[in-house]
Structure 1
Amino acid sequence: MIVENEDVLHGSGHFSNEPFTDFSLPENRLAMESAIAAVKTELGRSYPLWIGGKEAWSEERIVSINPAATSEIIGEVSKAGITQAEEAMQSALGAFQRWKKTPVADRAACLVRAAGLMRERKHTFSAWLVLESGKNWAEADADTAEAIDFLLYYAKEMLRLSSTNEHQPLIKLPGENNVLTYIPLGVGVVIPPWNFPLAICAGMAAAAIVAGNTILLKPASTTPIIAYQFYSLMVEAGMPADVIQYVPGSGAEIGDYLTSHPKTRFVTFTGSKEIGLRINKLAAETAPGQIWIKRVVAEMGGKDGIVVDETANLDAAADAIVASAFGFQGQKCSAGSRAIIVEDVYDKMVEKIVERTSVLTIGLPESNAPIGPVIDRASYKRILSYIEDGKSQGRLVAGGHAGPEGGYYIEPTVFADVDPAAPLMQEEIFGPVLAVAKAKDWREGIAIYNDTEFGLTGSFFSSDEGRIAEALQEMHCGNLYINRKCTGALVGVHPFGGFNMSGTDSKAGGHDYMLLFTQAKLTSRREAVQ
């Protein structure tokens, strides 16, 4: 169990992760079915912006649809334009002057209360994820559990960071009292992704606000209602309503505007490489009236892979490859979209991968099917285009077609005999597509793995300790796993973030993360001379 609220606030407990729900138990299945039915009664509502702690409506709307049943409208949210974005910025600036003075213990208590409320309504939040993002029960449950973990972990981390006794002590100098404290940055723009629309949204927002910053929250346009539910929860938990400004809108319009704004102190983003690079470029330009260098925290994606040598447990490796490639339809930045197999066991491994892929059935996430839809029509068309082009890059051994009508379904697809330089092996597809390449030996396998512009997650399967030691040294990624899948990082256990074009290696869910939302201030006081 997670530590009780008082333990988090007073530092007497130890953080542990929120347990996942066992849906094999009839009572848990019934609870989830009931939650989905209840959420479905709320579909089709309209939602406002929240600016300055008040509702704000706009004529333009963002329509959220169920990707598994595209005729079903999840809801409509007001769409912020430049005028509303500027109003939100001014409100956030004013709120910052108050919120930064709020004691750290009070800010942390808000996160702890929010975690408690989310735990009480865990299946309800998961039901929203099932319907708006197309996650099956297990994926949605893990998303909600991670959100709870982030809220509690960052509350405890900020308490730790604010304690001068527990943080690294300074060298004592006779006659002086020297103290290093961590103070907030200012107003930030938080841009979470659609693939973990609760967990990453909660994590990015919680870290920023518990540090004393105020934020403008611009959720992904495909999953804005889950972000609205999170915002409402935070206010219910006691957060002043203007600490977060809820401003869904166009990235090209208000995203660029706020990134370039002279009063924006930091931007934290999770999403594609292309948008992350654009944010970094815009933030690097100094706007008139700007008096700081903006801080960018970016997690941008990956082309992750699993290397398997001939000494590995082949069944365990095949299980891990299929789970990493097709969990949530491959729509994870950590998804293992490449499998690199040494030639001695290549044919056996391809057979095992195909065997496991062929039993994955497509269906409605609300019915807990293993494979659901991809997020939207643009993704659907792009992924199918990659599959069609892939037929000339490798040998199609599983899938390769669109799924049932009515939603954005695509069959789990496997290509074998893919050249390491082919687009299937180099470009992030972000869908249920796995490319398999052959290596002459394990060292070439590692070289093929490293031959990418990304560097987020990877995995190495072997029973040879010498090879494992070399893989640990040579495989260049932020999160490297041995003899397990390359997805499923846990808060506080696997600090998450990558190298190269995978982002700024921000290590979400780790001890370093809160430093990104604070600045260190040294105060030195010399004793008065009598």
Structure 2
Amino acid sequence: MAQLLVGGERVSARGGGEMPVVNPATEEVVDTVPKGTAEDVEAAVAAAKGALAEWSGKDPDERAAIMRAGIGAVKERGREIAELLVREQGKPLSEAMGELHHFIHGMDFYADLASKVRGAYAPLPSSLGKSYGMVIKRPVGVCAAIVPFNFPLTLMGTKVGPALAGGNTVVVKPAETTPLATLRVAELFAEAGLPAGVFNVVTGEGPEVGEALVAHPDVRRVAFTGSTEVGRRIMELAGPQFKRVSVELGGSDPVIVCPDADVDAAVKGVNIGRFFNAGQACLAAKRVYVFDEVYDEFMEGLIKRVSRYELGDGLTKAEKPKIRMGPMNSARYRDQVASQLEEALGRGARVVYQGEWGGEKGYFFPPAVIEGAPHDSRVVREETFGPLLPVFRVGDLDEALRLANDSRYGLGSSIWTRNIRWIHRAAQEIEAGMTWVNQLHYGYDELPFGGVKDSGVGREHGPEALEYYLESKSVVIGGLD
């Protein structure tokens, strides 16, 4: 059985509870993990608090070197970790390796930034005597990282990386269904020399472990990726203590394909952007608005690509030209997408293409493309967290932009066009945290990322993310006369 990592030690849950981790492709138990409680959170936060002075007191270059040692250990065991990720999450091995590489790149990025933190100097008015001011940067303290199931490593790295680089300590709460790769990575960092208590992991259910972590008075920073509903609950818990919070929440990213677009490139971008990871991504192509002039060409190309997907266990390869698509992570999410499709069809939508699945085991959902869905149907209004894509005809850019913004979400967006004026309008008018132009939806470590509206507050990625883990303190030096 896997164990919690608290204060550098592998330990069982204090209450003795356990949870199974199920392979979503086979429905077999991969392993069991401790079912943590508020007591385990208390111990982990105490360990993180106890390690804070030592870790924050290290030279930034030393922190970076220790982080890189951990990264190196993860690289050495990369295949093992990726296969573990496949078994607990379901994604194909190639996608798991890609996620691992993204995690490594992000952690490297923040290790490099550890020694780049800069303060400021300011000359001050002399009315109270000659003096000057400084702005120094101090770590926030103990940080909570609450991570979803869809990209357990990447989305942990976007939180743990800047936290450690800034001299903070961390308690990670992974998703109930995908804790194993996270625990293994944390163990490798500890073995590579990360001081005990700097990086802790507590597994368990959200209503108990997650809420106890967010509400703990010694946790000063909370970073969460997940659903909008849970994000609201986190804000409620953190608000009374004025914690620094960032929440990256659901999305319903619009894609606009214009008549002058490279249609083949747009098809490829939408295909990957929607169906990668079996559609389980908050940052993904979820609504496509195609100009009449290129609609038929776009749909023909899209169906040709989507029809190549073959459902199956992520540890097996599909024979070319087929492409492996793994299962969804749980029966609950599979059934939710199925109900969204059923509701859309009941209101007049039409299936343009849907794959097949004849197996008896696994949480598989065949990829589907639909058209004619009402814009107030669930597949549009809700976040569609699976391989289901609605496509819409539009007559002009005004209509496309209006429909793109007709959503409570505002995470990502994209436009495919060579028209610089249309690019400018999309960048300025689409209500989203990011807009890609002639490129698929992908989160770069080098750029800040986050949402607007119901897609959250705060930013991850980029040098800007480091500021969320640092406090700016003003210091006035007087007595210089």
TM-score, length basis structure 2: 0.93
Q: Deviations over 1:85-135 (max 9, x none)?
A: 222222222222333322222222211212222223332222222222112
Deviations 1:65-87 (A, max 9, x none): 2111212x221111111222222
Task: State whether residues 148 and 174 of structure 2, in contact with CA within 8 Å, keep that contact through their aligned partners in structure 1.
Answer: yes
Paired with 1:484 and 1:368, the residues of 2 have a C-alpha distance of 27
Aligned counterpart, 2:332: 378
1:420 aligns with 2:372: no
Shift in Å, 1:177: 4.9
* Partners of 1:311 and 1:233 in 2: CA distance: 50
Letter in 1 for 2:464: D
Say yes or no: does 1:141 pair with 2:141: no
Specify the alignment match of 2:321 in structure 1. none
> Which residue of 70, 74, 86 corresponds with 2:27?
70
Matches of 1:298 and 1:401, distance apart in 2: 36
Q: Provide the residue aligned with 1:474 in structure 2.
A: 429
AA matched with 1:326:
F
The one of 464, 475, 481 equivalent to 1:523 is 475
User: Could you tell me how far apart the structure 1 residues matched to 2:57 and 2:253 are?
Assistant: 43
For the residue of structure 2 that corresponds to 1:479, the secondary structure is coil
Contact 2:34 2:203 in 1 (8 A): yes
CA distance in 2, matches of 1:257, 1:235: 24
Matches of 2:458 and 2:317, distance apart in 1: 33
Unaligned stretches of 5+ residues in structure 1: 1-45, 287-292
| 1:280 is the counterpart of 2:232 | no
Amino acid at match of 1:212: G
Q: Is 1:265–1:295's contact at 8 Å kept on the other side of the alignment? A: yes
Looking at structure 1, the residues matched to 190 and 221 of structure 2 have their Cα atoms a distance apart, in angstroms, of 23
Task: Return the offset for 1:233.
Answer: 1.5
Residue 153 (structure 1) aligned with residue 153 (structure 2): no
Alpha carbon RMSD of aligned pairs, Å?
1.9
> Counterparts of 2:110 and 2:391 in 1: how far apart (Å)?
38
Q: Is the 8 A contact 2:5 2:183 kept in 1?
A: no
Residues 187 and 263 of structure 1 are in contact (CA less than 8 Å); yes or no, is this contact kept in structure 2? yes
Within 5 Å, give how 1:232-251 maps onto structure 2. 232-251=187-206
**Which string of whole-angstrom CA distances, capped at 9 and with x for unpartnered residues, describes residues 269-302 of structure 1?**
111111111101111124xxxxxx2111111120
Q: 1:368 to 1:442 in 2, by over 3 A?
A: farther
Correspondence 1:483 to 2:449 = no
- Equivalent position amino acid for 1:269 in 2: F
In 2, the alpha carbon distance for the partners of 1:179 and 1:285 equals: 30
Q: Deviations over 1:448-486 (max 9, x none)?
A: 111111111111011222222211211121111111212
The one-letter code sitting in structure 2 at the alignment partner of 1:380 is R
**Counterpart residue identity of residue 169, structure 2:** T
Aligned AA (1:241): A
Aligned to 2:88: 132
Return the structure number with greater relative CO, CA threshold 8 A, min gap 6.
2
Q: Cα deviation per residue 1:164-222 (whole Å; 9 max; x = unaligned)?
A: 4xxx6545889545332210112221111111111111231122122122222111111
Matched letter for residue 192 of structure 1: V
Q: Does 1:308 align with 2:260?
A: no
Greater mean alpha carbon deviation, residues 83-92 or residues 434-443: 83-92
CA contact (8 A) 1:424 1:435 kept: yes
Letter in 2 for 1:373: P
Conserved 8 A contact 1:420-1:437 = no
1:501 equivalenced with 2:423 (yes/no): no
Aligned residues: 470
1:27-426 equivalences in 2 (<5 Å): 46-58=1-13, 59-71=16-28, 73-161=29-117, 163-164=118-119, 170=122, 176-286=131-241, 293-369=242-318, 370-393=324-347, 394-399=349-354, 404-426=359-381
Q: What do residues 248-270 of structure 1 show as CA deviations (whole Å, max 9, x unaligned)?
A: 11110121122122222121111
CA shift, 1:57, in A, is: 1.4
Counterpart Cα distance in 2 of 1:373 and 1:180: 50
Asked whether the 8 Å contact 2:245–2:458 carries over to 1, the reply is: no
In the alignment, the residues of structure 2 paired with residue 368 and residue 269 of structure 1 have an alpha-carbon distance, to the nearest angstrom, of 33
CA contact (8 A) 2:121 2:132 kept: no
Summarize deviations over 1:309-348 as a string: whole Å, max 9, x none: 2121222212211111101111111111111112232233
More divergent stretch after superposition (269-278 vs 194-203): 194-203
CA–CA distance in structure 2, aligned partners of residues 438 and 524 of structure 1:
61
What is the SS of the residue equivalent to 1:512?
A: helix
SS at match of 1:511: helix
Does the 8 Å CA contact 1:361/1:371 hold for their aligned counterparts? yes
Q: What is the one-letter code of the residue matched to 1:219?
A: P
